[in-house]
Amino acid sequence: MAGKRTFTMIKPSAVAAGHAGDILSMIEKAGFRLVAMKLVHLSKHQAGLFYAEHDGKSFYEDLTRFMSSGPIIAAILEKEEAVAEFRKLIGATDPSKADAGTVRKLYGISMTENAVHGSDADATAEREGSFYFSQLDRV
């Protein structure tokens, strides 16, 4: 995915609130191409595997409980400078600090329930995308 692909998840609270379509529309209007997408309901164990690097941190239990509380939409996106461009689109992790018009400002509720996950680096995007999608799933 080096440079051209990134990974995202639309989080359970945003899916439950009916914001998934609006978020996907924002992503496409920003010039991203959907390479792979699926609706998944993670178990707490699966959420723990995905967020393994945070195991032992104070927010880990709440995060894995939240991420397994309902369906998420996982997607691989493509665009030049995908990671950096997507991080601009979604805004700061804390929705109250996110710029106006960003996904998290519009649809986020809190630091945990901030509507979307976005990979922070090319290598992370590759690892996270591979967690959800095999090579056969990617266009």
Cα(105)–Cα(43) distance, rounded to whole angstroms?
28
Exactly one of 19, 45, 54, 117 is catalytic; which is it? 117
- Centre a 10 Å sphere on the Cβ of residue 92 and count the other Cβ atoms it contains: 16
- Centre a 10 Å sphere on the Cβ of residue 38 and count the other Cβ atoms it contains: 13
Greatest Cα-to-Cα distance within the chain, rounded to the nearest angstrom: 39
Known catalytic residue: 19? no
Cα(26)–Cα(85) distance, rounded to whole angstroms?
13
- Provide long-range contacts, Cβ within 8 A and 24+ apart, for 43-48: 43/68, 44/68
Distance between first and last Cα of the chain: 12
Cα(114)–Cα(63) distance, rounded to whole angstroms?
11
What are the catalytic residues? 117
